Amino acid sequence: MFQLQGITKVYKKRRQEVVAFRVEHLDISAGEYVAVVGPSGSGKTTLLSLLGGMLSPDAGKLLFEGQSLYDLSLNDRTRLRREQIGFVFQTFNLVPYLTALENVQVPLYLNGIKPTDQRTRAISLLEQVGLGDRLDHKPCELSTGQQQRVALARTLANNPRLILADEPTGNLDPESREVVLSMFDAFVRDGRTIVMVTHDHSAAVRAARKILLRDGQIISDSNDAMSRSNCA
């Protein structure tokens, strides 16, 4: 799915250049469940932003399905994200004046889905995340865990092939954490791909592959058969 070739991303800080991320070669295959771990400032979110087409590298090539992601026009990258990639953020990014149902309908509306089909799909997803009785609640009327579940349902609305998740279980209650991670397990069992940045050990152990970053570089990259069995 992804091939990173000679990628470097540099930030300027106080007239000095700081290497945020650098890798000579990294492949992520379709169907993988990857946890990206490491201390704060190690380059985890930079890597996720590069993969999501939101942060162009300063050097190197990043291929998505064999196509150079950053040689695409901005409109083409936007369309690719809308049609193939789902994002889950710790901050949720829900629209505050919309209900849970309406928030989940947003990506369906943007993709031109008929209103009746939007509603049916959104209700089904909210029921799957245990919020079938919260359809008309706005974000301020939901707990932190419930807001993340709405965000996850919205992510899944357009049936993406890939989820990029940035600290998806941060500050969640145990019930909501398990709902999110169980949905991730099912997503991967369906042959789709997750790349998840996390500090949460209980989330990281669900992934079959762990990439450890430090100072913008990959320190280790391992597959764990025991982790894969957790998703069976």
The answer on pLDDT for 232 being more than 50 is: no
Mean pLDDT in residue range 112-137: 97
Sign of CA dihedral 160, 164, 166, 168: positive
Contact 53, 47 (CB under 8 A): no
Residue-level pLDDT at 229: 40
| Structural domain boundaries in the chain | 31-51+72-230
pLDDT band at 12 (very low <50, low <70, confident <90, very high): confident
Mean pLDDT in residue range 193-208: 96
Fold of 31-51+72-230: Rossmann fold (3.40.50)
The answer on pLDDT for 86 being more than 80 is: yes
Q: What does DSSP say about strands 85-89 and 162-166: parallel, antiparallel, or unpaired?
A: parallel
The answer on pLDDT for 144 being more than 60 is: yes
Mean pLDDT in residue range 170-179: 91
Q: What does DSSP say about strands 193-197 and 162-166: parallel, antiparallel, or unpaired?
A: parallel
How many Cα atoms sit within 13 Å of 13 on the Cβ side?
5
Mean pLDDT in residue range 34-60: 96
**Greater model confidence, 115 or 228:** 115
142: Cβ–Cβ under 8 A, 6 or more apart, which residues?
Answer: 100, 134, 150
Mean pLDDT in residue range 212-231: 74
pLDDT band at 224 (very low <50, low <70, confident <90, very high): low
pLDDT band at 91 (very low <50, low <70, confident <90, very high): confident
Q: What is the CB neighbour count within 10 angstroms for residue 171?
A: 12
CA distance 72 to 215: 29
Mean pLDDT in residue range 191-196: 98
The answer on pLDDT for 45 being more than 80 is: yes
CA distance 91 to 227: 27
pLDDT band at 227 (very low <50, low <70, confident <90, very high): very low
Q: What is the CB neighbour count within 10 angstroms for residue 60?
A: 17
Query: Considering only CA atoms, which of 213, 196, 217, 64 is closest in space to residue 227?
Result: 196
CA distance 203 to 128: 20
Largest CA distance in the chain: 54
Residue-level pLDDT at 225: 44
Task: Specify the amino acid at residue 35.
Answer: A
